[in-house]
Amino acid sequence: NIKISKMTEAATNNDEVEVILGPDLTPTRSYMDKKIYRHITLPNGLQCVLICDTVALKQRKLDGYDDDDESDDDHDDSSSGDESEVSNDGDDDDGTRKAATALLVNVGSYHDPPYLQGLSHFLEHMLFLGTEDFPIENAYDSFLSQHGGDDNAYTDMEHTLYHYCIPQDNNSKHVWKALEMFSSFFKCPLLKGEMADRELKAVESEFELNKNSDDARLSQLMSFTCGMDGAAPIMGRDFDWKDKIDGGIGSSSEKPFHPFAKFPWGNMNSLKTEPEAKGIDVMEELRDHYNSHYYAQNMRLVVMAGYELDEIQRQVVQYFKDVPANPRNNVDNGGVATTTNLHPYKLPFHSSSLGKIYRALPVRHHHTLSLTWQIPSICSHWRTKPAEYLAHLLGHEASGSILAVLKQRGWATGCSAGTGDDGEGDSSMHALFGFSFSLSEEGVQHWEKVIGVVFSYLGMLKYYFNEGYVDENGEKKEGLPRWIYNELKSVAELSYKYADEGDVTDTVEVVAEAMAPWYNIPTDRLLDGDTLLFGEVVDNDCVSRLLFNYFTPTNMRVDFMSSLFGREADFKDGTGLSPNSEEKKAEDTDEMTVEKDCAVAVFDIEKAGAPTIEPRFETKFWVETISSSIMKQWEENSTPQLPGSELELKLPPINSYIPTNFELKPLPADDSSHPLLNCSVKVCIGNGKKMQWYPACVIKFKTEKNNHLLLLHFEDEHEQWYTVDSNIVDTDADTLEAGFESSFDNGKVKFKVTAVPREGEGIVFSYGDADHDYDVEDGVAFPPIPPASPESRLPQLVYSKNSLKLWHMQDRRFKRPLADLRLNFVCDGMNDALKQACMDLFCKLCADALAETCYLASVCELGSSLYSNDTGFSIRVNGFDDKVMLLAKEVLDVVMSFRGRDGHTCLPSTIKDSRFDACLEVLRRNYSNSGMDASSFVTGLRLLCLKPSTKSSFSKLKALEGISSDKFVECMNQVLQKISVEAYYHGNVCREDADKAAQMISEALTIHHRGLPKKKVPSKLIIKAKEAVDHHLITSPTVDPTDNNTSVEVYFQIGKDDLTNRVLVDLLEHVLDEPFYNELRTKEQFGYEVSCGARWTFGVLGMSFKVTTSCKTADEASARVDRFLGEFRAQLESMSDESFMEHLVSLAKEKLEMFDSMEDECGSYWSEICEGRFDFEGHRKEVQCLKTITKESLLAAYDDWLHPICHKGKPKKRRRVVFHVIGKGSIGRPTVDDPSEIGEHVDGLVRDFHNSVKGETWGKITF
């Protein structure tokens, strides 16, 4: 039913604006989701989803709440009306979520003109550079940054999405101001030509940052070689790309054009050099692209805030009603409301591109075999998701799976299957079902047999499909056993039912993406359509078509990247290749045929001849027709039949990890749950002869001698117990809201509720009156700081014996049947590269041995991880508490099988001998790929210099040379001989559960356990940087010699952690971040990646300024950082008191933000335990300290730590270390004769730095 809603706007002189109400989405929200949803369509055709955050259910009535703040006696409290109370309830001061907005435009890279590829991405960048309403270039970003918000955008194949979030304020000024500024993107952007050249450099920098990504290179290689790039050149305005439509596989002898063949990234060549050479006006095309596609009917908007839906709707109508309904340039959009008109293009791979193997040189060390089947678009199959169903079967990792067979033969170490979740894998035109394998070196030699196993499994699935199953009525049905779909459906329902709220930005993004017209999800299923399975059985017609018609050898494309063929760096240096070979240009299409007998050998580049070069990423590749004999064998394998017994392929086993118990554990009687718990209240108490209302919050509930008692915490830190009156003993938590009034102590003490915590929130505190609450928003007062939580609400040490400590906290916030068990093992003597490398290998071997078990668990949303660190290793098991300990015991049994084996040199029975070499090969490859990205490498280099206990990947790779399983076991016997364990059990687990967990862990440590004494636990030491006028410069070439990027990190070390300095550093980051980005990134285009941030390294504070660039030298970048710090001081000194207070209040709000999920809360507390701080409410202390910070104290800290000039006008001594990682061809790049020696060069730099400071550290830091 279509309903019309009339909204009256004060801003439009009470003109009535009619909107169409869509279907009610609220009934389809998850069981734990308390938000309220509304779908509307504005008169201009803009479809919107409005989301009232959960505060609307608990903190006020939808009709509003008037707090007259009066009692029977006179008092001085002021009255507050509906608007202030509503705004206060939506306030994010005390741990509440931010407001968030996302807008999707139904245009993406597939809509780029062929002669301007990357145009949609370029336009996305340009919208951030000012509008007619807000013409200052960085006004939007500056506003969000100053008030604690952030923003971003991305361009996909068929849509572009913009989003932001911002803390919510009391009188809505900041929330709705951000919405107004955001809306102007889509009404009146400047799109100035003088800004375009600078922003083109940002697009180019983004491309350069990703140019050496093998995933991106492979994606573009597939687009370039799909055989659908048009019979005519793609450059030139006279090319009518819309007429080049292919009806399917091999329907034309020509090469028609397909949007898949485009280059979605865009760079300087595609957006400037090439079009300008053809006489194309890029800015005219950019504006035309905006005018053609950025109109209301082609957009989808999602707004989430802590305000009533009517208020959100008023604001949305006010700011978005003027977005034009139709294209601004009056282009003919075919009579449809959106620009998704790509359906006629169908499948992207021309028949000429199939039946071939594309071998490509990777940048990194890896061996990836990718199989791709093109299939019709699956967007319309959202109800039963048949492609995901088949991906589950093909990508399964348990016993009997494809991967299990390949691992048994030593050919593969991992796999993934499916269409992916981006527009490239699934679109309105087609879908690409990919199946990729990480192969071993031996697997590279048997690539065709690996594919043969895949088709044997497909043949088995076809056999079982034809055999069918018997349904509950005894009738035989076509299709695979029904329990497979039922398991997937059950797990999907459980996952959705108990899903965490998650980050607000993720929430609005997910809904906006579901609204994308090309995605095909009906409006009434926007919330759950992408997650749940709706049919009683899978769509067997679709499954049948995919299995029998599309998953065939002739419809398959094979892409193979392997460093055994060589790598880009090798080729450019001529290593391993014929020096006389010439590279083929892109238009050359000569091919070779691979015969079966030579396919088993590693590809020989010299015999293969010169490669073809993909023109954008410059990937070198060879195209080879797969021989008919190999194709015939695959065809035979794929016929409906059971595989031979030697393959041991079978359907997945019935999953024993599906949870069945979802009961929440009762809380302890002396600190139980009550609807008023954590609420903010006002209590009427006698003050002399007058009755006065005092703000307080409820912090504890207990039952004692049949009395229900609540503990109230007052603003002056006083605490008082009150007896709950009988009329509110059974108050329903779901109906409790701000404005509720009752009494304590048999009617003697009146109270009223002023704020109710939302899900995931702890104690809330609201003054409940306009005078105080407006002050918070206006920047003249801090947000209320909640009282300290009772100790019983924080992690408690419940077991401490024999070097095992276990902390426990029962969940009270999120009320989900979930648990999280985390363990950290500190081992003896982890002080050299060999032992740290062996620990890495140990974790890989254990994870490999557990892969089949852990995969079954992961299907049931039960996660596990095992990873090494400088002092030992850590384990995490999390998910439904019903099965957490079952999986944890499996993990511990394997891990602990290495202990108590002194004198043994063979691997334990839990580890198969054949897997040692396989895992060692993977680890060595990982080490060799370390630091290949300049940006991550420069940060890693800083940490290597600061943390002497950390050994580099290069040194660990060297330490593993010649290692045998015997030597490995001998090393692990030493390392695991004495260990100390710290554990944390969090979630729907009571004290009894914690005691059982401690017992299980203790037993798993085995009877041979010898604890590591506390005095033997290694200290985490940090090198003390020299305080000097001249900085210490550490310069390294990029590990990847083909990387054009240079990355610079300027690090200022401040000193040992203390509360005041920590707060000052955080405030400096808050003040500096946006101006630093605006100057170096937006205005001066130093590079795409420009950032600054506070650093906390094992108890030592610091600040880091980072620039990654492909157009500036390292010296220019680091010098510009220092010049910025010199120039910014004047801005800081002249900052108005109002602006300074806004920064303080914004940072305070950030620190008091609520946890988004149980995982976030657990992670925060676990970090305190691991670091030995145990300051579980440090955020409160930091905000309390923040209240004492003045502009003068901030300026003094800036002068002391960052400013390059002292008060006498001379260069200042600072603890400043500068790290340069210099890319190919850039000035100052150190010469390393052999790229393989870069590791030794880096280790030498680290040693030199340690020697320069004489190894001096900050000593053992205690908290």
**Residues with catalytic roles:** 124, 199
**Contacts of residue 838, Cβ cutoff 8 Å, sequence gap at least 6:** 963, 968, 971, 972, 975
Closest by alpha carbon to 390, among 549, 517, 249?
A: 549
User: What is the distance between the alpha carbons of residues 735 and 34, in angstroms, rounded to a whole number?
Assistant: 12
| Token pair recorded at residue 534 | 């709706």
For helices 833-849 and 965-975, the axis angle rounded to 10 degrees is 100
User: What is the distance between the alpha carbons of residues 530 and 32, in angstroms, rounded to a whole number?
Assistant: 18
Asked whether 799 and 817 are in contact (CB, 8 A), the reply is no
Q: How many residues does the chain have?
A: 1263
Asked whether 176 and 9 are in contact (CB, 8 A), the reply is no
DSSP labels for 431-454? Answer: EEEEEEEEE-HHHHHTHHHHHHHH
User: What is the distance between the alpha carbons of residues 526 and 48, in angstroms, rounded to a whole number?
Assistant: 12
Q: Distances from the Cα of 229 to the Cαs of 348, 621, 866, in angstroms?
A: 10, 18, 46
Asked whether 1140 and 780 are in contact (CB, 8 A), the reply is no
**Contacts of residue 750, Cβ cutoff 8 Å, sequence gap at least 6:** 71, 683, 684, 741, 742, 743
No. of helices (H) and no. of strands (E), the chain? 38, 36
Q: Distances from the Cα of 739 to the Cαs of 216, 682, 736, in angstroms?
A: 55, 10, 9
Asked whether 606 and 574 are in contact (CB, 8 A), the reply is no
Closest by alpha carbon to 1148, among 94, 64, 299?
A: 94
* 174-193 per-residue burial string, b: 16 or more CB within 10 A, e: under 16: bbbebbebbbbbbbbbbbee
Q: How far is CA 1144 from the centre of its chain?
A: 28
What sign for the dihedral angle of Cα 498, 502, 505, 509? negative
User: What is the distance between the alpha carbons of residues 261 and 269, in angstroms, rounded to a whole number?
Assistant: 17
Q: Distances from the Cα of 980 to the Cαs of 829, 840, 893, 959, in angstroms?
A: 12, 18, 17, 25
Three-state DSSP state, 703: strand
Query: Distance from first CA to last CA of the chain, Å, rounded?
Result: 63
Residue with tokens 């679109």: 427
DSSP labels for 869-911? Answer: ETTEEEEEEEEEHHHHHHHHHHHHHHHHTTSS-TT--SPPTTS
Beta bridge partners of 38: 50
**Contacts of residue 1073, Cβ cutoff 8 Å, sequence gap at least 6:** 145, 1091, 1092, 1093
Three-state DSSP state, 932: coil
User: What is the distance between the alpha carbons of residues 638 and 632, in angstroms, rounded to a whole number?
Assistant: 10
